[in-house]
Structure 1
Amino acid sequence: MSKTDKVVYYDQTEASYCAMFINDLGNRETMTDGTNFAQQYLIHKGLKMFGDRGKAASMKELDQLDKRKCFEPIRVKDLSARERAKAQEALMFLCEKRDNTVKGRMVFNGKPTRQWLSKEDSASPTVSTEGLFITATIDAYEERDVLTADVPNAFIQTDVPPPKPGEDRITMKITGVLVDMLLELNPELYKDFVVYENGQKVLYVVVLKAIYGMLVASLLFYKKFRVDLEGVDFVFNDYDPCVANRMIRGKQQTVRFHVDDVMSSHVDPKVNDEFDKWLNKMYGGYGKVKCVRGKVHDYLGMILDFSETGIVIIDMRRFIRDMITGFPMVLGDKDVAETPAGDNLLKAGTGPLLDKEKREVFHSTTAKGLFVSKRGRPDILPTTSVLCTRVREPRESDWEKLVRLMKYLNNTKEDVVRLGVDDISFSHWFVDLSFAVHPDFKSHIGAVMPQGRGTTISISRKQKLNTRSSTVSEVVGVDDASVVHQDNQSAILLETNGRRSAGQRSRAINVRYFSITDHIEKGDVKVVYCNTDDMYGDYMTKPVQGEKFRKFKEFIMGRKPI
C-alpha cells in the first residue's frame, strides 16, 4: 500500500483482508445469492477483469445508494478536523456470481474504526447456536410450520441516528473512478463538492444509512428490528437477545434471527403467512423479502430438515465435503480413520514448528472444524477443542492430529445430527472430566445436554482453573455447565452438602462453585449418580476408542434415543 497525505490506495491483497473483515461482521447477504467475499476484487482490478459488466455493476450499486439517500455530500470546510481524519475510504468490490452476472458492493472500510469504537457500541447480538437448536427441537416436537426469510438490503433500510452533542458525524471518503460514476449518475447533487487531493478526485459524504462494512451497521439494524418486533407484541428471551416469542391463537410463535436472516415457527401455517406479509410490509420496500416454507431450510450455513416427525436433522454434509476438497492433502477412498483422534490427542506437540504456509492451513482448517463441530458434527468437538489450543505454535505432531481428523471426516462425510425431545419441561446434563490431562496440568471438561435424541448442547473445553483433585474439578465442571448426571460420587457429595463435605484439600474451592448447592436445596437442580459406562459426557473429555466410541457416538449424533 502506498500512502500520501489524504488518499489511501489499496492493493488487491489488502482488499482481500478488508473483504474478509467485512464478511466477519455478519453482513451475510452473500451465501444466498451466490457471492463469496473470497472471490471479490477491488474496483480497479475488477474493471480490468469484467470490463463493461464491471462498470455496469458498480453504477447499479452506486445508483441505489444515491436514490436511497444513504449519504449526502459535504464540503471540506464544513467538516471538523476530527471528522475529516475519521472519514473512512469507500471501497467497491466486484465479483462474478454463480449465474455469471457481476455484482457490485460498495462498503465502508470499518476496520480502522475499531480504534475508537468500543465493543458495546458496535457489537450486534446474534442468535446463539444453542438457542437455535433448542427452539428448532421444540419446533419439531410440536410439529410447527417453519418459515425462513432473508431481509434484502437490511442495513440501508436502517437510519444512522444523528450525533449527540459533542459527537462526530460518520463520514466517508469516495475517491477516483467512484467519484466519476457518481457525477455521471447525479451531477447536480455532487459536482460542487468534489475536491482534489494529490491530483485525485475526492468526495466527502456524511453517512445517513447503515452501509455494509460499518461496525455499527449490524447493531443499528438489530435495534430497529427488535423495536419492530416488540411493536407487534413479541417478548424477547431473557437469555438470548435474538429469540422472541408471542402468543397467537393460544399457541406460541417463535422468531429467532441472525442479523437479516430470520426464522419463524408456529403450529398454524396461517400465522407464518401473516408474518410473511408483515415482513414484506416493513422491509420489502427495497426488494421482496424472500421467504422459504416447507420442511427443509438452508439457514446460517446449515440444512435444517424437519421431514421426519418429531425430529430436526442438522445437515452439514456440503460443508464437510468443501473442507475435504479444500484441504491441501488429497484424501482418497482409502484415506480414512475410524475415530477423530488417537490416544495421543492431549499430549503436548512435538517435532519442529510448522512453516508459515502449513501453519495457516492448520489454523483455517481447525477453525472450520470448530465451526462444524458446534453445529452438525459434535462427534469431532473434543478433537477440535484441543487443536484450537495449538493454533499459535502448531508442531508436526499437531499437524498429524489434524490429518487424522480430516481422514475421519473423509470416512464419515455423510453423517448428520438428529435432534429430538421427549419432555420440554426439564433437561438433563451429563458432566464429566479428564483430570490434569493438558500439558499445563489443567483438566478437560466435557458435558452434553440431550433432550431425548442427540445432544442439543455439547461442551468440550480446557478448564480455566488448576485443581488438586478430580473431585474438585468435577464441582468446577458443574459450574461451567435440570438434572445433572455425574460418575464421581465425591463430587456429588460436595455439590449436595457444600462445605460440610469439603475437607482440607477442598478448601481452595472458590465459594462461587458451591452455588450449585444452593440450586439443589431450592429444587432447581438434581444431581444423580451415573454409571461410567453410561456417562455420555465422557465422550467430550478424551479421545475414546473402540466399542465405547461407537456406543457414545450413536447417542450423541441422535441415531438412538438417550
Structure 2
Amino acid sequence: MEQAKARVEAIEEKLRALEEREARLLSQMTTQPSYADAVRNAVPRTSEAEHARAVSSPRRTRKRKAEGTFPDVEREKNERLSRREKERLRVRRAPEVVVALKREAEDLLSSAMPGKRRHKTLRIGVRQAIRQYGMEGLKAIVAELLQLSKHGLDVLEPVHVHTLTKKQRDGIIPSFMFVKENHDASGALEKIKARMVAGGNEQDRSEYSDCSSPTVATEAIFLLAAEAARSGAAVATIDFPGAFLNASIPDSDPHTYVRINRSLTGLLAAVDKRMKQFVKDGVLVCRLKRPLYGCIDASKRWYDHLCEMLSELGFEQNAYDACVLRKVSRTGEP
C-alpha cells in the first residue's frame, strides 16, 4: 500500500512537471519574434536622401552564394522554423504523456484498493469496439441500436437531407457510440455496455430558453439521511435504464437532427429496415423524437418528465429544494 502511494506521488510530480513544461513551451511559442521582425531588424534603415539616390542610380544585382541561399537571414529563418517545429512536436506529445501517466496512476490506485468499483469508458468507433471486445461488443452496440429503433423506444426518425431547410441542415449535430466496461466490486468484468451520445456542444443555445435542470443540495441529502435514521425509514436507490430516453420532444419544440456515419449506419439499417432508403453516401440523418445523452436539453426534459410522473403518484415538490419530493400516506406519516 505504501509503495503504491509513493508511486502515485511520483507520478503526480511528473504530471506537474509536464504541465509546467507545456505552459512554458506555449509561452515561448507565443513570445518568439516572427520571421518578418527578423528581416526588418536585419535590413538597415535608410534616410530619404539615400533612398532617392538608390532609386535614381542604375540597378545593381547582388550575386548569390554558391549554395544558392541568402546569407544570414535565410539561415536564421530555417533555424527558427526548425526550433518552432520541435517545440510544436513536444507540446503535441505532452498531453499523450500526461494521459499515459494518469492511466498508470489509476491502475495503481485500483490495485491498491481492490474493493473499489471501477469503470472504464472508451470513446471508440464501432469497428474498434468489435475488434477489442468481439461478439460481446457487437451485442452491446446492437442492443443500444435496438433500443433507439422502432423496435424499442422509437427515438430516431430518418429524414431526407434535401427536405430540410438551410437552418436545419446547419444545425445537424454529430453522434458517437460510447463503449463502457462495467466491473463488479471485486474488479471482474460484468458486462460491456454501449451508449449512443449526441454532440450537443454544437447545438445553438439561443433556441432553448431553459435547458438547465436543478441538482439536489448536499444539505438536503444529509437532512434526509438524518431523518431516515431518526424515524427508522427504509433507504433505497433506483436506477432508470436509459433515463433520458423516457422523456419526449414535442413536435412544437425546436427539432434536433443528428448525423450517423459509416459502420454505425450499416448496423442501424440492418436493425431497422426503414433506415436503408434514407442512407446517402454512408451517412444517415435522423430527427430525435426523444433526447439522447449529450443533448443540451436532455437532463431538463428528463427532470420535467420525472416530476410529472411522481406528481401523478401523489408526491409534492419541496419549496426549498426542487429535487426533493415528499408523499404523505393516509396515516399521515411521510
Q: TM-score, normalised by structure 2?
A: 0.59
Contact 1:108 1:172 survives alignment (8 Å): yes
Corresponding pairs, count: 213
Q: Partner residue of 1:78?
A: 163
Paired residue for 2:257, among 164, 171, 174?
A: 171
Q: Does 1:130 align with 2:219?
A: yes
Give the alignment partner of residue 183 of structure 1, picking from 247, 250, 269: 269
Alignment CA distance shift 1:237-1:79 (3 Å): same
1:152 equivalent in alignment to 2:241: yes
**Residue 49 (str. 1) matches residue 135 (str. 2):** no
Q: What does residue range 489-500 of structure 1 map to in structure 2 within 5 Å?
A: none
- Rate the CA distance shift 1:97–1:121 in 2: closer, same or farther, 3 A: same
The code of the aligned residue for 1:125 comes to P
* Secondary structure of the structure 2 residue equivalent to 1:161: coil
The CA RMSD over aligned residues, in Å, is 2.3
Larger Rg: 2
1:63 & 1:35 partners in 2: Cα distance?
27
Find the aligned partners of 1:212 and 1:146 in 2 and give their Cα distance: 28
Partner residue, 1:102: 192
* Structure 1 segments of 4+ aligned residues over 6 angstroms from their partners: none
Task: Decide whether the 8 Å contact of 1:41 with 1:95 is kept in 2.
Answer: no
CA positional deviation for 1:44: 4.1
Does the C-alpha gap of structure 1 residues 104 and 35 become closer, same or farther in structure 2, counting only changes over 3 Å? farther
Residue 251 of structure 2: which of 162, 180, 186 is its match?
162
Name the amino acid aligned to 2:221: L
Q: CA deviation at 1:206?
A: 0.5
Any unmatched runs of 5+ in structure 2?
A: 1-95, 100-116, 184-188
Pairing of 1:353-392 with structure 2 (within 5 A): none
Question: Aligned partners of 2:190, 2:240: CA distance in 1, in Å?
Answer: 23
8 Å Cα contact 1:173-1:203 kept in structure 2: yes
Query: For 1:65-464, what aligned pairs fall within 5 Å after superposition?
Result: 65-66=148-149, 67=151, 68-98=153-183, 99-113=189-203, 115-116=205-206, 121-164=210-253, 168-187=254-273, 189-196=274-281, 201-253=282-334
SS in 1 for 2:202: helix
Matched position secondary structure for 2:285: strand
Deviation at 1:173, TM superposition (A): 0.6
Does structure 1 conserve the Cα–Cα contact (< 8 Å) formed by 2:291 and 2:297? yes
Structure 1, residues 414-450: CA drift from partner, whole Å, max 9, x if none? Answer: xxxxxxxxxxxxxxxxxxxxxxxxxxxxxxxxxxxxx
Higher relative contact order (CA 8 A, sep 6+): 2
- Contact residue 121 and residue 180 of structure 2 kept, 8 A: no
Amino acid at match of 2:142: M
Partners of 1:95 and 1:144 in 2: CA distance: 35
Alpha-carbon distance in 1 for matches of 2:125, 2:119: 13
Instruction: Confirm or deny: 8 A CA contact 2:121 2:181 kept in the other structure.
Output: no
For residues 478-517 of structure 1, what are the structure 2 equivalents within 5 Å? none
Shift in CA distance, 213/49, structure 1 to aligned 2, threshold 3 Å: same
CA contact (8 A) 1:73 1:205 kept: yes
Given that 2:145 and 2:268 are in contact with CA atoms closer than 8 Å, whether structure 1 keeps it comes out as yes
Shift of 1:220: 0.7
C-alpha contact 1:183 1:190 (8 A) present in aligned 2: yes
Amino acid across the alignment from 1:240: D
Amino acid paired to 2:145:
L
- 1:206-227 CA-to-partner distances (Å, cap 9, x unmatched) read 1011211212111111111111
How many Å apart are 1:234 and its aligned residue? 1.8
Matches within 5 A, 1:470-485: none
Whichever residue aligns with residue 56 of structure 1, its letter is K
SS of residue in 2 equivalent to 1:247: coil
| TM norm structure 1 | 0.36
* CA displacement at 1:236 relative to structure 2: 0.9
SS in structure 2 opposite 1:147?
coil
Deviates more, 1:43-52 or 1:77-86: 43-52
CA contact (8 A) 1:43 1:93 kept: no
The one-letter code matched in structure 2 to 1:47 is I
- 2:120, 2:181 within 8 Å by CA — same for their partners in 1? no
Q: Per-residue deviation at 1:143?
A: 1.8
Structure number with the higher helix fraction is: 2
